[in-house]
Amino acid sequence: MKRHLIFIMFSVFFLPSTTVSACSIVYYIDKISGKIYVANNEDYWLDTDAYIQIEPQSKNKLARLWYGWDDFAQGGVNSAGLFFDGAVTPKLNDSKKYKKIKGNLGDHILAHCKTVNDALALLQKEKIALGNAHMVLGDATGNAVVVEWINGERKLIHIKDGYLIATNFLLSDPEKGNYPCYRYKSIEQRIQKLKSQDTTADMRSFGNVVGGAVQLPQQDSNGKSGGTLYTSFINITDMEFGLIYKLDNNKITRFNLKEEFEKGKRRVIPLK
Protein backbone atom coordinates (compact mmCIF):
# COMPACT_ATOMS: atom_id res chain seq x y z
CA MET A 1 0.00 0.00 0.00
CA LYS A 2 1.75 3.13 -1.18
CA ARG A 3 1.42 6.42 0.61
CA HIS A 4 -0.51 8.23 -2.12
CA LEU A 5 -3.21 5.57 -2.16
CA ILE A 6 -4.75 6.90 1.05
CA PHE A 7 -4.38 10.60 0.35
CA ILE A 8 -7.61 12.32 1.37
CA MET A 9 -9.15 15.52 0.12
CA PHE A 10 -10.15 16.98 3.48
CA SER A 11 -13.07 19.40 3.52
CA VAL A 12 -13.42 22.35 5.89
CA PHE A 13 -16.06 22.49 8.63
CA PHE A 14 -16.11 24.61 11.75
CA LEU A 15 -17.86 23.05 14.72
CA PRO A 16 -18.49 24.10 18.33
CA SER A 17 -16.03 22.86 20.93
CA THR A 18 -18.66 20.55 22.39
CA THR A 19 -18.12 18.21 19.41
CA VAL A 20 -14.43 17.64 20.13
CA SER A 21 -15.12 14.05 21.21
CA ALA A 22 -17.03 13.27 18.02
CA CYS A 23 -16.27 10.23 15.90
CA SER A 24 -17.21 8.99 12.42
CA ILE A 25 -17.06 5.29 11.51
CA VAL A 26 -17.91 3.47 8.28
CA TYR A 27 -17.83 -0.19 7.17
CA TYR A 28 -18.15 -0.77 3.43
CA ILE A 29 -18.28 -3.76 1.07
CA ASP A 30 -17.23 -2.96 -2.49
CA LYS A 31 -19.95 -4.19 -4.85
CA ILE A 32 -17.50 -5.21 -7.59
CA SER A 33 -14.57 -6.82 -5.77
CA GLY A 34 -16.36 -7.79 -2.58
CA LYS A 35 -13.47 -6.33 -0.59
CA ILE A 36 -14.25 -4.90 2.84
CA TYR A 37 -13.03 -1.51 4.01
CA VAL A 38 -13.43 0.39 7.27
CA ALA A 39 -12.48 3.92 8.26
CA ASN A 40 -12.69 6.13 11.31
CA ASN A 41 -12.18 9.82 12.10
CA GLU A 42 -11.17 10.18 15.76
CA ASP A 43 -12.05 13.71 16.87
CA TYR A 44 -10.55 14.67 20.22
CA TRP A 45 -8.11 16.98 21.98
CA LEU A 46 -5.03 17.43 19.82
CA ASP A 47 -2.59 17.25 22.74
CA THR A 48 -3.62 13.64 23.42
CA ASP A 49 -0.72 11.18 23.45
CA ALA A 50 -2.26 8.69 21.04
CA TYR A 51 -0.45 5.59 19.82
CA ILE A 52 -0.82 2.34 17.90
CA GLN A 53 -0.31 -0.90 19.81
CA ILE A 54 0.36 -4.28 18.22
CA GLU A 55 -0.06 -7.42 20.29
CA PRO A 56 1.28 -10.79 19.04
CA GLN A 57 -0.66 -14.02 19.03
CA SER A 58 -0.38 -16.09 22.19
CA LYS A 59 -1.79 -19.43 23.29
CA ASN A 60 -5.27 -18.09 24.00
CA LYS A 61 -5.25 -14.69 22.29
CA LEU A 62 -5.36 -13.51 18.68
CA ALA A 63 -2.82 -11.12 17.21
CA ARG A 64 -4.27 -7.61 17.05
CA LEU A 65 -3.63 -3.95 16.36
CA TRP A 66 -5.42 -1.15 18.13
CA TYR A 67 -5.14 2.60 18.37
CA GLY A 68 -6.01 4.82 21.30
CA TRP A 69 -4.45 6.30 24.42
CA ASP A 70 -4.10 5.75 28.18
CA ASP A 71 -4.04 1.94 27.82
CA PHE A 72 -7.49 1.94 26.21
CA ALA A 73 -8.27 0.89 22.64
CA GLN A 74 -10.50 3.31 20.75
CA GLY A 75 -10.62 1.01 17.72
CA GLY A 76 -8.70 -1.76 16.02
CA VAL A 77 -8.59 -5.04 14.10
CA ASN A 78 -7.28 -8.54 14.73
CA SER A 79 -5.70 -11.31 12.67
CA ALA A 80 -9.12 -12.88 12.01
CA GLY A 81 -10.35 -9.65 10.42
CA LEU A 82 -12.64 -8.54 13.25
CA PHE A 83 -12.86 -4.75 13.51
CA PHE A 84 -14.30 -2.60 16.26
CA ASP A 85 -14.65 1.08 17.01
CA GLY A 86 -16.88 3.21 19.21
CA ALA A 87 -18.48 6.65 19.25
CA VAL A 88 -19.92 8.75 22.06
CA THR A 89 -23.72 9.09 22.14
CA PRO A 90 -26.27 10.64 24.50
CA LYS A 91 -26.14 8.84 27.86
CA LEU A 92 -29.09 6.48 28.17
CA ASN A 93 -27.98 3.23 29.80
CA ASP A 94 -28.63 3.24 33.54
CA SER A 95 -29.61 -0.41 33.85
CA LYS A 96 -28.21 -2.49 36.69
CA LYS A 97 -28.26 -5.53 34.40
CA TYR A 98 -24.91 -4.50 32.96
CA LYS A 99 -21.48 -4.02 34.43
CA LYS A 100 -19.34 -0.93 34.19
CA ILE A 101 -16.40 -1.32 31.84
CA LYS A 102 -13.18 -2.33 33.54
CA GLY A 103 -9.85 -2.58 31.77
CA ASN A 104 -9.25 -2.39 28.04
CA LEU A 105 -12.52 -3.60 26.52
CA GLY A 106 -11.46 -3.23 22.89
CA ASP A 107 -8.29 -5.23 23.38
CA HIS A 108 -10.31 -7.88 25.23
CA ILE A 109 -12.72 -8.24 22.30
CA LEU A 110 -9.98 -8.38 19.67
CA ALA A 111 -7.96 -10.90 21.68
CA HIS A 112 -10.80 -13.39 22.08
CA CYS A 113 -13.26 -12.95 19.18
CA LYS A 114 -13.00 -13.83 15.50
CA THR A 115 -16.38 -12.66 14.25
CA VAL A 116 -19.14 -10.18 14.98
CA ASN A 117 -21.22 -12.97 16.48
CA ASP A 118 -18.35 -13.95 18.77
CA ALA A 119 -18.08 -10.37 20.00
CA LEU A 120 -21.82 -10.04 20.56
CA ALA A 121 -21.79 -13.28 22.53
CA LEU A 122 -18.87 -12.06 24.66
CA LEU A 123 -20.60 -8.78 25.45
CA GLN A 124 -23.78 -10.59 26.41
CA LYS A 125 -22.07 -13.30 28.45
CA GLU A 126 -20.02 -10.79 30.42
CA LYS A 127 -22.98 -8.37 30.77
CA ILE A 128 -21.06 -5.49 29.24
CA ALA A 129 -22.74 -2.32 28.00
CA LEU A 130 -21.57 1.17 27.08
CA GLY A 131 -23.39 3.83 29.06
CA ASN A 132 -22.73 6.77 26.74
CA ALA A 133 -21.55 5.27 23.46
CA HIS A 134 -22.33 2.75 20.77
CA MET A 135 -19.98 0.23 19.21
CA VAL A 136 -19.37 -0.75 15.59
CA LEU A 137 -18.36 -4.36 14.96
CA GLY A 138 -17.47 -5.71 11.52
CA ASP A 139 -15.71 -8.83 10.30
CA ALA A 140 -14.13 -10.47 7.27
CA THR A 141 -17.32 -12.33 6.33
CA GLY A 142 -19.24 -9.14 5.52
CA ASN A 143 -21.19 -9.09 8.77
CA ALA A 144 -21.37 -5.74 10.54
CA VAL A 145 -23.52 -4.26 13.29
CA VAL A 146 -23.84 -1.22 15.51
CA VAL A 147 -24.56 -2.14 19.13
CA GLU A 148 -26.51 0.31 21.30
CA TRP A 149 -27.79 0.05 24.85
CA ILE A 150 -30.89 2.09 25.63
CA ASN A 151 -32.38 1.98 29.12
CA GLY A 152 -31.09 -1.52 29.72
CA GLU A 153 -32.13 -2.94 26.35
CA ARG A 154 -29.60 -3.94 23.71
CA LYS A 155 -30.33 -2.70 20.18
CA LEU A 156 -28.62 -4.08 17.07
CA ILE A 157 -28.49 -2.13 13.81
CA HIS A 158 -27.30 -4.44 11.04
CA ILE A 159 -25.48 -3.64 7.81
CA LYS A 160 -27.78 -2.78 4.92
CA ASP A 161 -27.01 -2.28 1.21
CA GLY A 162 -23.33 -3.02 1.73
CA TYR A 163 -22.46 -0.30 4.24
CA LEU A 164 -22.89 0.78 7.84
CA ILE A 165 -22.22 4.26 9.28
CA ALA A 166 -22.09 5.49 12.86
CA THR A 167 -21.42 8.96 14.23
CA ASN A 168 -22.68 10.37 17.54
CA PHE A 169 -26.43 9.92 17.50
CA LEU A 170 -28.29 6.74 18.39
CA LEU A 171 -29.31 4.98 15.20
CA SER A 172 -32.16 3.26 17.03
CA ASP A 173 -33.45 6.53 18.53
CA PRO A 174 -32.03 9.60 16.70
CA GLU A 175 -34.23 12.10 18.50
CA LYS A 176 -32.34 11.55 21.77
CA GLY A 177 -29.65 13.98 20.59
CA ASN A 178 -26.81 14.84 18.19
CA TYR A 179 -29.16 14.54 15.23
CA PRO A 180 -29.28 15.53 12.43
CA CYS A 181 -25.57 14.96 11.84
CA TYR A 182 -23.80 16.57 8.88
CA ARG A 183 -20.96 14.05 9.18
CA TYR A 184 -23.29 11.09 8.77
CA LYS A 185 -24.95 12.77 5.80
CA SER A 186 -21.59 13.58 4.18
CA ILE A 187 -20.35 10.00 4.51
CA GLU A 188 -23.60 8.55 3.20
CA GLN A 189 -23.58 10.85 0.18
CA ARG A 190 -20.00 9.88 -0.66
CA ILE A 191 -20.79 6.19 -0.19
CA GLN A 192 -23.65 6.48 -2.67
CA LYS A 193 -21.35 8.20 -5.15
CA LEU A 194 -18.74 5.48 -4.70
CA LYS A 195 -21.35 2.76 -5.20
CA SER A 196 -22.59 4.39 -8.42
CA GLN A 197 -19.19 4.11 -10.09
CA ASP A 198 -18.29 1.20 -12.35
CA THR A 199 -14.78 0.87 -10.97
CA THR A 200 -13.42 -1.15 -8.08
CA ALA A 201 -12.90 0.77 -4.85
CA ASP A 202 -9.42 0.99 -3.35
CA MET A 203 -7.95 2.56 -0.22
CA ARG A 204 -7.77 5.98 -1.84
CA SER A 205 -11.30 6.16 -3.23
CA PHE A 206 -12.74 4.65 -0.07
CA GLY A 207 -10.63 6.92 2.13
CA ASN A 208 -12.20 10.00 0.60
CA VAL A 209 -15.57 8.83 1.92
CA VAL A 210 -14.64 10.23 5.36
CA GLY A 211 -12.82 13.28 3.99
CA GLY A 212 -15.87 15.53 4.36
CA ALA A 213 -16.44 14.51 7.97
CA VAL A 214 -13.17 15.68 9.52
CA GLN A 215 -12.82 18.57 11.95
CA LEU A 216 -10.08 21.13 11.45
CA PRO A 217 -8.15 22.28 14.55
CA GLN A 218 -9.98 24.84 16.64
CA GLN A 219 -9.71 26.19 20.16
CA ASP A 220 -12.34 26.15 22.86
CA SER A 221 -13.02 29.06 25.21
CA ASN A 222 -10.05 28.01 27.35
CA GLY A 223 -7.64 27.94 24.42
CA LYS A 224 -7.44 24.14 24.22
CA SER A 225 -7.26 22.77 20.67
CA GLY A 226 -9.44 19.96 19.39
CA GLY A 227 -10.16 18.40 16.02
CA THR A 228 -9.49 15.22 14.08
CA LEU A 229 -6.66 13.55 15.97
CA TYR A 230 -6.25 10.78 13.42
CA THR A 231 -8.05 9.00 10.60
CA SER A 232 -7.61 5.25 10.26
CA PHE A 233 -8.27 3.02 7.23
CA ILE A 234 -8.32 -0.76 7.03
CA ASN A 235 -8.70 -3.04 4.04
CA ILE A 236 -9.92 -6.08 5.97
CA THR A 237 -9.84 -8.37 2.94
CA ASP A 238 -6.18 -7.73 2.10
CA MET A 239 -5.19 -6.89 5.69
CA GLU A 240 -3.83 -3.43 4.92
CA PHE A 241 -3.78 -0.65 7.50
CA GLY A 242 -3.18 3.08 7.20
CA LEU A 243 -3.46 5.99 9.61
CA ILE A 244 -3.16 9.73 8.98
CA TYR A 245 -2.23 11.83 12.00
CA LYS A 246 -3.79 15.28 12.50
CA LEU A 247 -4.96 15.58 8.87
CA ASP A 248 -1.36 15.68 7.65
CA ASN A 249 -0.80 13.50 4.58
CA ASN A 250 2.92 13.60 5.35
CA LYS A 251 2.27 11.80 8.66
CA ILE A 252 1.07 8.40 7.51
CA THR A 253 1.61 5.12 9.32
CA ARG A 254 0.92 2.00 7.25
CA PHE A 255 1.24 -1.73 7.70
CA ASN A 256 0.68 -4.99 5.92
CA LEU A 257 -1.16 -6.50 8.88
CA LYS A 258 -0.51 -10.10 7.95
CA GLU A 259 3.23 -9.50 7.82
CA GLU A 260 3.15 -7.45 11.01
CA PHE A 261 1.25 -10.10 12.95
CA GLU A 262 3.59 -12.84 11.72
CA LYS A 263 6.54 -11.05 13.35
CA GLY A 264 5.20 -12.11 16.74
CA LYS A 265 6.40 -8.96 18.45
CA ARG A 266 4.63 -6.48 20.71
CA ARG A 267 5.04 -2.91 19.50
CA VAL A 268 3.90 0.50 20.64
CA ILE A 269 4.13 3.23 18.00
CA PRO A 270 3.59 6.79 19.26
CA LEU A 271 1.67 9.01 16.84
CA LYS A 272 3.49 12.21 16.06
Kindly write down the DSSP assignment for every residue of 43-112, as one continuous string. Answer: EEETT---EEEEE---SS---EEEEEETTEEEEEEETT--EEEEEE-------TTSBPP-S-HHHHHHHH
160 - beta bridge partners?
A: 163
Amino acid 92: pLDDT: 75
Work out the angle at residue 268's Cα, subtended by the Cα atoms of residues 258 and 3, and round it to the nearest 5 degrees. 55
Cis-peptide, bond into residue 180, ω within 30° of zero: yes
Beta strand ranges found along the chain (DSSP E): 23-29, 36-45, 51-55, 64-69, 72-78, 83-88, 133-138, 144-150, 153-158, 163-166, 218-219, 225-235, 240-245, 252-256, 267-270
Question: Residue 145: which of 194, 72, 83 has the closest Cα?
Answer: 83
User: Under a CB-based contact definition with an 8 Å cutoff, are residues 223 and 239 in contact?
Assistant: no
Mean pLDDT of the chain: 91
Domains of the chain (ranges, CATH numbers)? 3-270 (3.60.60.10)
For the four alpha carbons of 54, 84, 39 and 198, in that order, the dihedral sign comes to positive
pLDDT at 95: 67
Q: What is the pLDDT of residue 118?
A: 98
Q: Are 151 and 94 in contact (CB under 8 A)?
A: yes
Predicted pLDDT at 13: 40
Q: Which residues contact 249 (CB under 8 A, 6 or more apart)?
A: 3, 7, 8
pLDDT of res. 93: 63
What pLDDT, on a 0 to 100 scale, did the predictor assign at position 263? 97
Q: How far apart are the first and last CA of the chain?
A: 20
Q: What's the confidence (pLDDT) of residue 20?
A: 65
- Residue among 4, 2, 7 at smallest CA distance from 247: 7
**How far is it, in rounded angstroms, from Cα 115 to Cα 119?**
6
Say which residues have a Cβ less than 8 Å from residue 143's Cβ, sequence separation at least 6. Answer: 115, 116, 117, 159
Give pLDDT, residue 131. 87
What is the chain's pLDDT, residue by residue, as a tens digit (272 residues)?
Answer: 334 344 444 443 434 434 567 899 999 999 999 999 999 999 999 999 999 999 999 999 999 999 999 999 999 999 999 999 999 999 876 667 887 788 999 999 999 999 999 999 999 999 999 989 999 999 999 999 999 999 889 999 999 999 999 999 999 999 999 999 999 999 999 999 999 999 999 999 999 999 999 999 999 999 999 999 999 999 999 999 999 999 999 999 999 999 999 999 999 999 99
